[in-house]
Every structure is written in C-alpha cells, then in structure tokens.
Amino acid sequence: NAGVTQTPKFQVLKTGQSMTLQCAQDMNHNSMYWYRQDPGMGLRLIYYSASEGTTDKGEVPNGYNVSRLNKREFSLRLESAAPSQTSVYFCASSREPRAPGELFFGEGSRLTVL
C-alpha cells in the first residue's frame, strides 16, 4: 500500500525560483491537505481541498498556490521562493472533508531556500 506519496523528498532552491511539490494518494479519499512543519510550531495548514475541484486557504497560505488535479493528486506550488519558506512540507488526505477523522500523511518534503 503506497498511501500518500510526495515528491521530491528533498529540494534546494535559490530565492526567487519556483517549484511544485507533488502529492498523490491511492486511498480514494475525498479531502487532501498541505501542511508545513517548522521547529517549535507544529504543523500549520497551508491549503486544503475538501473534494475534487475545490481548494481553500488554511492558516498560512501566503506565497503558495495549489491545484487539485483530480481526486488522487494535489500539488503545491511556490511561485517565487523565499528563505521563510524553508520548511518540511507534508501532504495528507482524509476520507471526510476538513479532517474530522483521521489524516494519513506522506513522508514529507524537505525544502531549503537559500
């Protein structure tokens, strides 16, 4: 069982460069999420998608865009990376919208912006 798969696992960018983090789930879940994890701050929600075709801002959406390509895939794009976006990014999915139940997480993508 693959579960939630994120690519790439590691990425180094220069300030101003753009990149897209890819996420795919094979559990037929309706809802998908992007979180960032920073030391001492836990996980903070960037964007979520309650269902295919919908996306909504979370707690820290500035500097990011998302695309729910289909039911399986939810990508996160940084148009012009900044050092403040250095973080570990986690994609997650859940059966129910807005995660009243269990979230299933990918293994994370570590991004460094120089």
Partner 1 sequence: AQSVTQPDIHITVSEGASLELRCNYSYGATPYLFWYVQSPGQGLQLLLKYFSGDTLVQGIKGFEAEFKRSQSSFNLRKPSVHWSDAAEYFCAVVLNDMRFGAGTRLTVKP
User: Which residues make up the interface to partner 1 (CB under 8 A)?
Assistant: 4, 33, 35, 40-45, 48, 58-59, 90, 92, 98-103, 105-108
State in angstroms the smallest separation of the CB of 16 from partner 1. 29
State in angstroms the smallest separation of the CB of 80 from partner 1. 27
Contacts of 42 (CB under 8 A, 6+ apart): none
Q: How far apart are CA 71 and CA 49, in angstroms?
A: 10
Residues forming a β-bridge with 24: 5, 73
> Do residues 95 and 29 touch, judged by C-beta distance below 8 A?
yes
Q: For partner 1, give the closer residue by CB, 3 or 16.
A: 3
Q: For partner 1, give the closer residue by CB, 15 or 98.
A: 98
State in angstroms the smallest separation of the CB of 97 from partner 1. 10
Three-state DSSP class for residue 24? strand
Three-state DSSP class for residue 110? strand
